[in-house]
Amino acid sequence: MERLVRSCYKKKSGYVFAKKAEDIAREYGMTRIARLASNENPEPLSPAALAAATDALATVNRYPDEKASVLMSALRATYAHEHFVTGVGMDGVIETILRTLVEPGEKVVISTPTFSFYALAAMGQGAETATVPREADFSVDPRKLLKEAKDAKVTVLCSPNNPTGNATPVPVVEEILEGIEGLLFLDNAYVEFSGIDYLPLMRKHENLVLGRTLSKVYALAGLRVGYAFTPRWLPPWYNRAGTPFAVNAVSMAAAAAALSDRERAERYIAQVKRWRKRFMDEVKYPVMPSDANFVMIDVSPHKSDEIVEELARKGVVVRSCRSFTGLEDHYIRASIGADWENELFLEVINSL
């Protein structure tokens, strides 16, 4: 019966998941593994978020609030902005935005190397995808991007970029916004770690969406909550195109409480900045400058998979960047974790 499956899914492989720490632990007979492969917050969710989620569990015989009011109020209280959309992770937001805007055959432009889900989601909508490679230092040349993106329906730029770690300066983003006819989806999954504020651009540009997630700084990866700052015109259409009741009540309650726990977020951001510097200074291989909660490391002359395997053997799980299209095969990506995980990572990588 597989003949029924769409040919695009038969031609391309799907999302590449990080190897499960549990599997590696079993393979090498280890009890403690440093999980530095998925850019998660190593701390458990905030007690306030846990309490809110637990309370919300008692309501799940009912469908959740279709307006996501609790989460919307928390977002409006946290940020100086009015218009938001929510989804099942930022991945869900990306998919719904493309579903809302992109007709089959229309162009989606992606600045690469980057997060792989954009291309998969665009393919799912039957879009024509074009990729524009970054420069040798992984910066974005706006003129080069605009050559391809000018007439695209949607352009996707990740800043700070996964996996390279660098952010694109505000004036460069503005130049792109002014040169395109379509929409710019700026993926800000890691922006809290950067000190860059793209929000003022929203006041001047009607074609900008800032994608955000609760999975990284707010420690809710497992509850799957994402949102985006949008222009005024987008939410009604997004809600028409999207899956009804996408974000569940437990996730919404936890997300609203997590957003309100600013102190916890700040503590983690400080931890990331402290360790980012130590990784830069102490890893014996070249570390790319990072504005995120991870760093990309050039392990040449070794191959990425080799180093990832060596690290896993010693109890440290990091991400090989081999699967990122447009990146040479000698980079690994290491998240900043808890103190003991970072110490172990430094010790092991420098001993290879």
291 near ligand PLP, rule: CB under 6 A: no
Specify the stretch interacting with ligand PLP by CB under 6 A; choose among 83-91, 104-112, 169-177, 195-203.
83-91
Least distance in angstroms from the C-beta of 224 to ligand PLP: 6
Task: Please give the backbone phi and psi of residue 277, each rounded to the nearest 5 degrees, phi first.
Answer: -65, -45
196 near ligand PLP, rule: CB under 6 A: no
CB within 8 A of 69, min separation 6: which ones?
none
Least distance in angstroms from the C-beta of 151 to ligand PLP: 25
91 near ligand PLP, rule: CB under 6 A: yes
193 near ligand PLP, rule: CB under 6 A: no
- β-bridge pairing 294-298 and 331-335: antiparallel
Specify the stretch interacting with ligand PLP by CB under 6 A; choose among 58-66, 86-94, 240-248, 262-270.
86-94
Instruction: Report the candidate in 87, 129, 88, 85 with the shortest Cα–Cα distance to residue 111.
Output: 129
- The interface mask with ligand PLP, positions 214-243, x = CB under 6 A, is -x-----x----x-----------------
116 near ligand PLP, rule: CB under 6 A: no
247 near ligand PLP, rule: CB under 6 A: no
CB-wise, 225 or 344, nearer to ligand PLP? 225
Three-class secondary structure assignment of the chain: CHHHCCHHHHHCCCCCCCCCHHHHHHHHCCCCCEEECCCCCCCCCCHHHHHHHHHHHCCCCCCCCCCCHHHHHHHHHHCCCCCEEEEEHHHHHHHHHHHHHCCCCCEEEEEECCCCHHHHHHHHCCCEEEEEECCCCCCCCHHHHHHHHCCCCEEEEECCCCCCCCCCCHHHHHHHHHHCCCEEEEECCCHHHCCCCCCHHHHHCCCEEEEEECCCCCCCHHHCEEEEECCCCHHHHHHHHCCCCCCCHHHHHHHHHHHHCHHHHHHHHHHHHHHHHHHHHHCCCCECCCCCCEEEEECCCCCHHHHHHHHHHCCEEEEECCCCCCCCCCEEEEECCCHHHHHHHHHHHHHC
Instruction: Report the candidate in 109, 117, 152 with the shortest Cα–Cα distance to residue 134.
Output: 109
Least distance in angstroms from the C-beta of 268 to ligand PLP: 15
86 near ligand PLP, rule: CB under 6 A: no
Least distance in angstroms from the C-beta of 134 to ligand PLP: 14
Within residues 96-115, the interface with ligand PLP by CB under 6 A covers 115
Least distance in angstroms from the C-beta of 164 to ligand PLP: 11
Strand partners, 42: none
CB-wise, 100 or 215, nearer to ligand PLP? 215
Specify the stretch interacting with ligand PLP by CB under 6 A; choose among 87-95, 166-174, 176-184, 252-260.
87-95
89 near ligand PLP, rule: CB under 6 A: yes
> How many residues make contact with ligand PLP (CB under 6 A)?
13
Least distance in angstroms from the C-beta of 254 to ligand PLP: 13
Q: Are 156 and 110 in contact (CB under 8 A)?
A: yes
Least distance in angstroms from the C-beta of 177 to ligand PLP: 19
- The interface mask with ligand PLP, positions 154-173, x = CB under 6 A, is ----x---x-----------
CB-wise, 38 or 260, nearer to ligand PLP? 38
CB-wise, 165 or 315, nearer to ligand PLP? 165
CB-wise, 86 or 342, nearer to ligand PLP? 86
Q: Which residues bind ligand PLP (CB under 6 A)?
A: 39, 89-91, 115, 158, 162, 187, 189, 213, 215, 221, 226
